[in-house]
Amino acid sequence: MILQALYQHYQTLFNDPDSGIAPPGYSVAKIGFELLISKEGDLLDIIFLKENNKTGSKTMLVPEQKKRSSGDKAYFLCDNSSYLLGLEKDKSDEKKTKNNKEIKTSVNLTRYKLSYELHKSLLSSVDNPAAKAVIKFFEKWSPKSWEDVPLIRNNIKDIVTGGNFVFRYDPDYTLVHEIPEIKKAWEQSMQSAEGENIYSQCLITGEQAKVERLHPDIKGVKGANSSGASIVSFNQESFCSYGKKQSYNSPVSQKAAFGYSTALNYLLASQRNKVLIGETTTVFWAEKKSCCAEEDWLAFLLNPEESVEKDDDKNNEGKWSIDYQTVLAIKNAFENVKKGMPLKNLLPSDMLDTKFYILGLSPNNARLSVRFWHVDTFGKVAEKIMQHYLDMQVDGMDKFPTVTRLLIELAPEHKYDNIPRIAEGQIMRAVLTGQPYPNSLLTQLILRVRADSDKDNKQLKINRYRAGFIKACLLRKYRASGNKKMEEVISVSLNEESTNTAYRLGRLFALLEKAQRNALGGDLNTTIKDRYFNSASSTPAAVFPILLRLSQHHLSKAEQSLWLDKLMEKVMSGISDFPAHLSLDEQGLFILGYYHQREALYKAKEDKEEK
């Protein structure tokens, strides 16, 4: 299903002259340098394709660069320095030069000869001066004598570390791989390419065709090899059917393998169709072309913090971003949905009915893992994501919480590197399907609340994101089970009408903490929350009698003691007794009650100060 959808997307892009997608036999590559050669094959100059003193930012359509699985393999007219110049960074000296500006260079004659033989075999019969110039270049160039050439010697560090080279022919200043006669020779060679002639029914197209042995590499997934990783591979005997090896186990034609991989690489190279969610690289696309508005909406909804246009960001130059008017339109739609208006009343039907595909990928050694895969109409996807944000809403949350932000709330010490990676797929599946969040996420959230302490205002153990996440976990669980009574307890702001014991206990704890702060001053190093919160939220009967005795001392010294005392009495009037233990869900309600009451107290204080 995934590969079929990608192959269909390739067909859509291929039929769009403005897409820039690579046709069969070609691929898009990042180029760092151009080798300028004369009619006689002499190296005249090395043209650096640099931006901000960094190499390798320009992309070109070049002859297809199929996967290098093992051993050496030369590419036609576009390759790195070890093949086109016979020069490479000395790997044996890599540790010594890691912290040194000098790079030790070694000569690789094996790769250079492979490249020479490839170009000689393909270009010898081409009646074009540029083709002959390339052959002459290989015949004249001596890798061992590189130090005698100032052009090479003075730029050797960039040359052996800067990526791919292409040839430019000086007399007419043409890129050699773009010359029609040379392109024709390349395309003819592709049709008669060597390889095993194994034919089978393609699993993607259904056609009887030649099977691709090694599928092309996928590039652009965060954390994967920069040279690419496999989404289809068979690297163990135990994975293979009897008598079959590598990708012959799941027959995909060469045409289809090229199509799906080219489409996926195209999406991964795009800024409009790709967002990063935690460590999962997520791509999305529409079934039909010219769906820019839908793509902008989806990019913002999936990752609102990263996709917005920032006028003051100097590093944002040249990057795609959503314009401010689109962001306003999305936020206005969200506010209307919050008020109960269906999305179908806000957007045109052709936009809502557009079919969309969403694919999440993460690295797994030399391969890629599919974290999640979702297919639905744009309207339903947008509704599900908006519902996710609605379920997360609590007082004090002034912006959409991204999935990455939620993942950080699950991580020890709020550190990005400590994010539990399995949670990325779990959250996204719940977001896209509207199903309840796995109970393991609620468990993890409560464990983090119990383990963490208040470091500063930015890393409260109970902050708006954790409170919103706990609220969403409980709300969806009760909604899915049809528990209307409990669903009504869960609200965006303080629910003073709720008689739920766990929720009221959380509110009471917030009031007890407020009494302590009022009595002893606001800037306390340690409060009852630091000493008693964990036990109060799990075993209330063992802790609350102690806290209530302490509160009498605090209330006798606190400002607004009469108001606080009456509020405590009102909250306690709905509590018949203190439970010996609270379940996981009840602990979540306790935390939510604490957060709601704390926010209400802050809001009351702000309102008083404004008056």
User: CA dist 263 to 19, 282, 285, 596, Å?
Assistant: 11, 14, 10, 48
pLDDT per residue over 532-554, tens digit each? Answer: 999 999 999 999 999 999 888 87
* Average pLDDT taken over every residue of the chain: 88
pLDDT per residue over 297-340, tens digit each? Answer: 999 999 886 554 444 444 444 455 677 888 889 999 999 998 88
Instruction: Provide the pLDDT for residue 539.
Output: 97
Beta-carbon count within 10 A of 116 CB: 21
pLDDT band, very low/low/confident/very high, at 52 (cuts 50, 70, 90)? very low
Distant-in-sequence contacts of 563-566, Cβ < 8 A, 24+ apart:
564/511, 564/514, 564/515, 564/518
- Rounded mean pLDDT, 57-71: 83
pLDDT per residue over 558-567, tens digit each? Answer: 666 788 888 9
Give me the sign of the Cα torsion angle 508, 582, 467, 395: negative
Instruction: Provide the pLDDT for residue 318.
Output: 43
DSSP 437-491: PPHHHHHHHHHHHHH----STTS-SS-HHHHHHHHHHHHHHHHHHT-HHHHHH--
485-488-493 Cα angle (round to 5): 155
Burial of 250 (0-12, 13-18, 19+ CB in 10 A): middle
Q: Any alpha helices (H) in 303-401, and if so which ranges?
A: 324-338, 349-352, 378-392
105-76-52 Cα angle (round to 5): 55
pLDDT band, very low/low/confident/very high, at 71 (cuts 50, 70, 90)? confident
pLDDT band, very low/low/confident/very high, at 605 (cuts 50, 70, 90)? low
User: CA dist 586 to 28, 285, 583, 589, Å?
Assistant: 55, 41, 5, 5
End-to-end CA distance of the chain: 62
pLDDT per residue over 465-517, tens digit each? Answer: 999 999 999 999 999 999 999 998 999 999 999 999 999 999 999 999 988 88
77-32-51 Cα angle (round to 5): 150
Cα gap 256→258, rounded to integer Å: 5
| pTM confidence score | 0.84
Instruction: Provide the pLDDT for residue 313.
Output: 45
